[in-house]
Structure 1
């Protein structure tokens, strides 16, 4: 038995034993008084009934009264002497099989009865190990004795104590069995939960096998849910650490190239080797470095900036961003094909600068990685949401499209100078949309990648 089981067993056993000890003490302390009280009450009922009967026919009802109240009733003339009454009562009681070795009624008691007072006397029978409780009442010219034999209360209490002791021993045996069974059933799942918690603390994520339908079962379900979430979070963190290491390597490479070129061309200028293009090259490489650093800083502060929500015409904002890519589209021989199935010019409540950043990053990503001649854009409506979709063909393979949302993630197939990047653009997109409460997801099929954004339409601002 484990510690909790022993604690349960000890606590319950001690509680039961204390209850039995209390029963014994109460029996010894209050049982004699209670026994006499109940006997007196029983005799009182018989006395009350006899007193209410008419003198003419009360004696006829004695057999019925004796059976009803389980008492012995005898009577005689109240004018007889003390000795004659004592002798008469003893003979009558003996006739009714009540044997007494000690019985008397004194002159003082007779005077009280003649005065109309009820007299109660307890006769201790000594070796007979019993007592006789007698009540004397007057009934006209008759003195009536209503008596009840009582066993020694000490013997009764001793028997009760013996019974309680036997009951206690049997109860302890039953308690040992029941508590052992209950403690085993209760502590086994708790032990399992403790081991699972220990394994989780050591990053060994597993589930507890507990099938009870109680609070322990609910605790097991909570721990299992926590284990699943921690496992997913740990896997996600590990994956992000790998991406971070890859990003640091890429960032170092991306920065090292322009720094090296800037240094080389600067030394060329210093040595008088400038053919007129060195300064332009240095400026271009400096711009590349500034762009990389700005993108990194944007991502680092995107979650800290407060959103300045305003009514935003989502279609107008997209067209504004798309116009800025006109030169790049011509140089890449690309064109936007926009299919607008969204009636009117609905508004959304959002931070225009942040949504502008979303469109800019999506458009930049599409232009950079597009392998075909067109980029398709679609505006539509689904229930109460505005649906924005953008798709384009791409070269290479994407193993898991959902990873494109992760910070620092860049597909291996895209790692060449023409399309190099940090992988922060789409991470910024997802972070901004989540902060606004907008849904988004990516699909890839047949060398086509599709981005979906679901904006919540702000009805009060709709036109």
Structure 2
């Protein structure tokens, strides 16, 4: 059973039960009220009949006047009995009952009682027993008429309420149908499908459900898009890695085949061993970078400890000078600048930036490392005096295995800046390049 049908049936059942209860209460209350009025009339008439009982039974000349005094309403029936004598029956209007009511009434009970379709009161005074009665049919007719009116009115009210309830339930549940349609469209591939949000969404249950569902659909779309990008990135990564590894592997295999076939004598060609060492070193460096990137992709979370970024910059410059003493490298920054992050990965970032300078600028080219503190962000810039990045190269510099033009592509596998971007992103910052400057920012409390 659908939710709409179950709600309509519940509303119909509760409304019908309420109408039946109200109608039954009204009918019973009216019946009790009419009986009470009848009993009061009968009690008063019985007292009057009791006072006139002798005249009614003994003096026929006075019977008409006495009857008019007692039978003020035409429906009254009066019966009198004196000792063991017969019953005298007087009726105001309707036909007499077939049998005397005194024959069926409880003579020792002064309370009002029902006797053969009449409401009667019996009083006794000495030898006289007087019964005053009114027919119950007018009362029953009134009650039946009220019951019929209540039934018709209740049926009409129930029909109108059901129509209103159906319209209201349909209107209020329309967002649920929209949510179901949006979920179905999402399953069919329409990732941008959303359910219309009602204007009173934050204040109603269905509105809040719509907001929650739309939020969930948005997160699902983002997750699917991220998954698609991740899969495409992995495919590109595998293809690029295979291409990059193919070159040194092919070179090593070629030299080894030449040595094994005797074409190259290592005693006459010591440069072959040097080339084998260079290619194997290049392949080892490439594999190390690939493993480092894979580890960053698998667990991008970093260790959060206080790190002196100014000290890291000075250490990185010192390490670079040890590798290339003839290059003019300097640091411009405060004595101490603390951020929250992972010291090892940040050290790798500084090393990669300076290695990028060595790989893509002529020997001896000067470079400057600037560390600039800010109220919320820390900015680190590495600026060299080389040819710099073009606008196109700067837009792709941090992509994996991407190489710029020939002026800046001597050596390297195109992974150094990609590692920088991944580490900085894991710390909540961003990296970029413009001209001859490569920079990155980190939050003070990253």
Please state if 1:299 is matched with 2:293: yes
SS in 1 for 2:440: strand
Q: How does 1:245-324 map to 2 (within 5 A)?
A: 245-270=235-260, 271=262, 272-274=264-266, 275-302=269-296, 303-304=298-299, 310-324=305-319
Q: Which runs of 5+ in 1 are unaligned?
A: 47-65, 108-116, 139-144, 434-438, 458-463
Please state if 1:226 is matched with 2:220: no
| TM-score calculated relative to the size of structure 1 | 0.67
Please state if 1:199 is matched with 2:185: yes
Q: How does 1:281-430 map to 2 (within 5 A)?
A: 281-302=275-296, 303-304=298-299, 310-326=305-321, 333=327, 335-340=329-334, 345=336, 347-348=338-339, 350-365=341-356, 367-368=358-359, 373-382=366-375, 385=376, 387-392=378-383, 394-398=388-392, 408=400, 410=402, 416-422=409-415, 424-430=418-424
8 Å contact 2:110–2:123 — kept in the other structure? Answer: yes
Residue 247 of structure 1: how far off its partner (Å): 2.2
Q: How does 1:151-190 map to 2 (within 5 A)?
A: 152-190=138-176
Q: Which runs of 5+ in 2 are unaligned?
A: 84-107, 126-130
Q: How does 1:30-45 map to 2 (within 5 A)?
A: 38=33
**What whole-Å deviation, never above 9, does each CA across 1:180-236 have from its counterpart, x for those lacking one?**
422432343322222211121233122222425233332332333333333333333
Q: Partner residue of 1:92? A: 69
8 Å contact 1:296–1:424 — kept in the other structure? Answer: no
Please state if 1:441 is matched with 2:430: yes
Structure-2 separation of matches of 1:404 and 1:240: 19
Structure-1 separation of matches of 2:424 and 2:320: 21
Structure-1 separation of matches of 2:441 and 2:237: 26
Q: How does 1:128-147 map to 2 (within 5 A)?
A: 132=119
Of 442, 455, 463 in structure 1, the residue corresponding to residue 444 of structure 2 is: 455
8 Å contact 2:401–2:413 — kept in the other structure? Answer: no
8 Å contact 2:109–2:122 — kept in the other structure? Answer: yes
Structure-1 separation of matches of 2:144 and 2:214: 58
Please give the root-mean-square deviation of Cα atoms over the aligned residues, in Å.
4.7
The number of aligned residues is 398
SS in 2 for 1:277: helix
| TM-score calculated relative to the size of structure 2 | 0.69
Of 196, 208, 212 in structure 2, the residue corresponding to residue 209 of structure 1 is: 196
Q: Partner residue of 1:13? A: 12
Q: How does 1:13-162 map to 2 (within 5 A)?
A: 13-20=12-19, 26=24, 38=33, 75=47, 91-95=68-72, 97=73, 99-103=75-79, 119-122=110-113, 126=117, 132=119, 152-162=138-148
Residue 3 of structure 1: how far off its partner (Å): 5.5
Structure-2 separation of matches of 1:293 and 1:370: 24
CA 1:162–1:380 in structure 2 vs 1: closer, same or farther (change >3 Å)?
Answer: same
Structure-2 separation of matches of 1:196 and 1:323: 59
CA 1:38–1:420 in structure 2 vs 1: closer, same or farther (change >3 Å)?
Answer: same
Q: Partner residue of 1:58? A: none
Residue 255 of structure 1: how far off its partner (Å): 0.8
